[in-house]
Amino acid sequence: MPDHDSDRKRKITLKSAIGYGVGDFFGGGQMALIGTYLALFWTRFCGMSIGTAQAFIGMSALISAVAALCFGILDDNLYRFRLGRRFGRRRLIIFMVSPMILLGILMWIPGFPTPVYFVTYAFWIIVAQLFAAAYNPLAGEMTRDFGERNKLSTTRLTISGLSGTVILIAGGFILGIFGDRHPKGYMILAISIVVLFSVAVFICWHSTWEMTPQEAGFGQYAREEGKFAAAGDANSKTRSKDESRHGTFIHRIAMALAEYASTLRLSIFRKHLCIYLLIQISNDVFGQVFVFFVIYDWNRTAAFASLLLSSGVISLPLMPLFSTMLTRFGPKPLYAVGFVGALTSLLLMFVSTIVVGRLPDPWWTVFVYARSILYFTFRSLYGSVPWAMFPFISDVDQVVTGRYRPSTFSGIQAGLRQMFSGLANILVGMVLMWCGFDSTRHWQPQSAKLGLAVLMFGWVAVSVIVALLVSRAFTLDRRTDAVVLDEINRKREGGRPCDIAPGDRAVIESLTGLPYGRGMDRERAAGSLEG
């Protein structure tokens, strides 16, 4: 069995932070690769219409949404079983994902029957969700310190942003050599990146650690295993049978759904989830539409679109600054600055669309590139906050439930993200087909160009405005998380919820949206921390 206790005493060094963060070379990079090039590749070289390609992507996301819910519960509860207690509940899954990623190469080879692309992509997205279920909780398990968690999240987001930028720069360079009307360049780019994804996930597995069963609230299972081992193999086998026979299938489904539904009781998680979904779905739509928009509305090449998308590299050196600002000022001001800046950038993008062909090409190119830098900088700012704050959501849950279950939160977050992303992709395909978009043509009718523009500007702008309004009520920060952690430690030492200081109670109730330590709610909230 791994020495989890010694692992938990390890400090977060730059090496361990990079080892953890390199996992998001796959997590973030695969979205850049898929979102930018896959629909374009399928419609040009695999005989699909835009509606079919977007429908495949959308349906796969819906399948992935169901998988994410299954994986979240499974991953959080692996410590109930001997396999998880021996090999870990997070790192075992990360190790398994590394070779599975390589099957994604099949998506980038022309000539297969159309169903093969759908099945392969669905498998790819499911594997990505399996990885996310195990990977997302690690920052909260490797350390409880706000600053160290922030370091891990910042490193992760920096590497994620770097992976997307490297993929887009490499894409622009390779397509510039081979041309964007030939499949060879896309294949060289995609197959090379998929192999790097697999290597990155293996490095992440080798560099990380996780909570012990006791620390995660599953100490009773480790203690019982020791008792059964002392009693002999016969009792151990009985234990295995009892462990595997835990109610009917319907009962298990009902318990899993109840587990996920319980996460939505937390007020702060509902706000976080709303902001996160608005950001991610708007980014998905932007990524799906932008290359087509550049090619047909601006009459430029896919290589030029890659160059504009890669301008986000300018935000990478700013990630440590964003991290410092988050620690000092909290998430609410960062959301405000990021959202307002992004809206301003979208307005400038709209202006650049109006003046295309009117300004001299060199001046227009400089203007568009400067606007892209501005937009991606602000998008990186507000996009980094949900990931940085996610590890602290489980702290708020633990003060109420007594269990640390970040994969359950990750599962419902990923499930809803994939569900809405799938519906959005299907809707994008339907809108473009309704507008007369035909990817086999080198030109598009005015109605199709208008449809691309509406999706580009309208969808993103509305999402950003709504997210800005919701973020004004987001109160989780370093100070309030410290109150939550102090209360968890106080309860672990035998303190009762009803004895909490009034000021601390107000903080916890504002985060949970539930009464805490009052009257009839005392016993419900007082569930003792296991382990």
Q: What is the pTM of this model?
A: 0.69
436 domain residue, yes or no: yes
* 373 and 505 belong to one structural domain: no
Q: In the prediction, which pLDDT does 268 show?
A: 93
* 503 and 386 belong to one structural domain: no
* Domain boundary residue, one of 432, 459, 474: 474
H-assigned helices in 264-360: 267-296, 302-309, 319-329, 331-355
* 427 and 496 belong to one structural domain: no
* 163 and 305 belong to one structural domain: yes
The rounded distance, in Å, linking the Cα atoms of 240 and 245 is 9
261 domain residue, yes or no: no
* 411 and 309 belong to one structural domain: yes
* Domain boundary residue, one of 433, 454, 474: 474
Nearest to 498 by CA among 487, 484, 483, 486: 487
CA angle at 334 for the pair 329 and 340, rounded to the nearest 5°: 145
The rounded distance, in Å, linking the Cα atoms of 140 and 133 is 13
Contact (CB, 8 A) for 68 and 133 = yes
| CATH code at position 188 | 1.20.1250.20
Domain count, the chain: 2
207 domain residue, yes or no: yes
The rounded distance, in Å, linking the Cα atoms of 217 and 62 is 32
Tokens 């234990």 — which residue?
Answer: 239
* Domain boundary residue, one of 474, 499, 514: 474
Structure tokens at 411: 């599962």
* 320 and 381 belong to one structural domain: yes
* 372 and 516 belong to one structural domain: no
Q: In the prediction, which pLDDT does 216 show?
A: 58
Q: In the prediction, which pLDDT does 217 show?
A: 58
Q: In the prediction, which pLDDT does 17 show?
A: 85
DSSP H helix total and E strand total for the chain: 25, 0
375 domain residue, yes or no: yes
118 domain residue, yes or no: yes
Structure tokens at 389: 């704050």
* 462 and 494 belong to one structural domain: no
Tell me if residue 494 falls in helix, strand or coil. Answer: coil
* 331 and 468 belong to one structural domain: yes
* 345 and 454 belong to one structural domain: yes
Q: In the prediction, which pLDDT does 234 show?
A: 43
Phi then psi dihedrals of residue 425, to 5 deg? -65, -40
281 domain residue, yes or no: no
H-assigned helices in 302-455: 302-309, 319-329, 331-355, 361-401, 406-434, 446-453
* 362 and 505 belong to one structural domain: no
Q: In the prediction, which pLDDT does 236 show?
A: 45
> For each of the chain's 531 residues, which pLDDT tens digit applies?
344 444 445 777 888 888 888 888 887 788 888 877 888 788 888 888 877 887 887 888 788 777 777 776 676 666 676 766 676 777 788 888 899 999 989 988 888 888 888 889 889 888 888 888 888 877 777 777 777 777 787 888 788 878 887 888 888 788 878 877 788 888 888 899 999 999 999 998 888 887 666 665 555 554 555 554 444 444 444 444 444 444 554 666 677 778 788 888 899 999 999 999 999 899 888 887 888 888 888 888 877 887 888 777 777 778 788 888 888 888 999 999 999 999 999 999 888 888 877 888 888 888 888 888 899 899 989 988 998 888 889 889 888 888 778 778 877 887 788 788 878 877 887 888 888 877 667 777 888 888 888 888 888 999 999 999 999 999 898 888 888 888 888 887 777 878 888 888 888 988 988 888 653 344 344 333 333
* 512 and 414 belong to one structural domain: no
Running DSSP on this structure, what letter comes out for residue 359?
S
405 domain residue, yes or no: yes
Q: What residues make up the domain containing 491?
A: 480-525
96 domain residue, yes or no: yes
Q: In the prediction, which pLDDT does 311 show?
A: 77
Running DSSP on this structure, what letter comes out for residue 313?
G
